[in-house]
Amino acid sequence: MRGTTVGHGVDEVLGYLAAELDASVEVAMFGRHGYSDGYRVGPVAVFHHPEHPAMGVCVDVDGGACDVLGTQRVARVAVALGLRLSRLDLAVDGCPFTPDDLRREWLAGNVRTRAKAPDVERLAARGLSVRPGLEDVPTHEWSEGPTGTQFRMGSRASEAFARCYDRRGPVRFELELKGRTAAAAAVLLQLVDDEAAFSRGVLGFVRRFVDFVDASSDTNASRRSLLGFWAAFVGGVERWRLSVAGAVERTLDEVWAWLERQAAPALALVASAAGRGALGELVDRGRRRWRSHHRGVLARSPDWAYPASNGY
């Protein structure tokens, strides 16, 4: 899990984590993710840039730290600090199927998923192609090697992406959530009060992304029966019906911080090569793609002014 908070200062974040994890604060030798300063509280990393407060404080809990703390506790930390999550990973171990089982049913069309089929025209414009016969099959990828196999479902660029692998022994299914979906999931998972309920919640999010079904059982995809191995896996858990609209309300300060940290070098490159007029054309194209949440950010910030330069 990784996210940022703009409502709490770095000292407040470190103090909360030290108390929650019963661990001391250590100063790291360097920062990451564009932040200059780094800290570690137990297995959790914290990053901060004192010269750019609009960037907020970044809290990074990697896979090993999640294994130590447990995902439920990680979700509680995310909610308590008001983190705007860039990623939340959920995992289930000891699955009663193999990666190849999922691949076989996926390619056979026995799947109901939020993953989209590849955009053939966009790939062609990049000089890429889809294997003939798979143009309408949801995006996926298969890999195998000496340590095991892995089947990936969906696109890493989307807000939900899954993988199933057996590289470390027992089969693991991982669901990777990002953006508004990750934030909404963290809120809901933090509310469950025991491990069994939490496990059901994780399976509910897995089912929200994908179900393996008998495509011949009904013409209506929503009513198709689950395949036996998948029914045994989910154990009667219902799909989460999650609305992420408004789950995360961005501010213009956060948008500016992201542009300055992530996009400014690329924008400067374009301006140097083609002149600043090219950036104006890019802005016009972007405005034509606005949706309601973009207009909402603007409406909430009528008197906003961009921060002065801090030495960049």
Token digits of residue 279: 């950036």
Rg value, the chain, Cα: 22
Give the pLDDT confidence of 9-61 residue by residue, as tens digits.
Answer: 999 999 999 999 999 999 998 898 889 999 999 999 999 999 888 889 999 98
Torsions phi, psi for 153 (to 5 deg): -125, 125
Mean pLDDT lowest among 52-61, 136-145, 241-250: 241-250
Task: Please determine, for residue 189, whether its predicted confidence score (pLDDT) is greater than 90.
Answer: no
pLDDT band, very low/low/confident/very high, at 77 (cuts 50, 70, 90): confident
Write down the number of H helices and E strands in the chain: 12, 12
Share of the chain above pLDDT 90, in %: 38
Q: What is the pLDDT of residues 153-174, one digit of tens each?
A: 998 888 899 999 998 778 999 9
3-state secondary structure of 309: coil
Task: Let me know: does 3 contact 57? Beta carbons within 8 Å.
Answer: no
Confidence (pLDDT) at 203: 92
- Tokens 């699955």 correspond to 95
The stretch 248-272 carries a mean pLDDT of 74
pLDDT at 99: 96
Residue 286 has pLDDT above 50, yes or no: yes
Please name the residues in contact with 9: beta carbons below 8 A apart, sequence gap of 6 or more.
57
pLDDT confidence band for 222 (50 / 70 / 90): confident
End-to-end CA, the chain: 29
Q: Considering the chain, what percentage of its residues have pLDDT values greater than 70?
A: 89
* pLDDT for 248: 44
Going from the C-alpha of 59 to that of each of 1, 180, 202, the distances in angstroms are 8, 17, 22
What does the alpha-carbon distance between residue 57 and residue 14 come to, in Å, rounded to a whole number? 10
Reading the block at residue 264, the tokens are 């400014």
- For the cut 50, the answer to whether the pLDDT of residue 296 exceeds it is yes
Could you tell me the maximum CA-CA distance found in the chain, to the nearest angstrom? 63
Please give the mean pLDDT across all residues of the chain.
84
Residues 116 and 209 sit within 8 Å (Cβ to Cβ): no
pLDDT higher than threshold 70 for residue 193: no
Rounded mean pLDDT of 277-300? 80
Q: What is the pLDDT of residues 86-132, one digit of tens each?
A: 788 888 889 999 999 999 999 999 999 999 887 767 767 777 676 77
**Tokens 């590849």 correspond to what residue?**
118
How far is residue 293's CA from residue 118's CA, in Å, rounded to a whole number?
A: 26
pTM, two decimals, is 0.66
Q: Which two tokens stand for residue 145?
A: 């090697």
C-alpha neighbours within 13 Å on the C-beta side of residue 299? 8
pLDDT band at residue 312 using 50, 70 and 90 as cut-offs:
very low
Q: What is the pLDDT of residue 125?
A: 77
Handedness of CA 81, 82, 83, 89 (dihedral sign): positive
Residue 292 has a pLDDT of 66
Contact 207, 240 (CB under 8 A): yes
Q: Average pLDDT of 281-295?
A: 80
Give 217 or 6, the one with higher predicted confidence.
217
SS (H, E, C) 242-286: CCCCCCCCCCHHHHHHHHHHHHHHHHHHHHHHHCHHHHHHHHHHH
Determine which of 106-120, 273-287, 296-310 has the lowest per-residue pLDDT on average.
296-310
Q: Is the pLDDT of residue 311 over 60?
A: no
What is the residue whose two structure tokens read 């799947």?
111
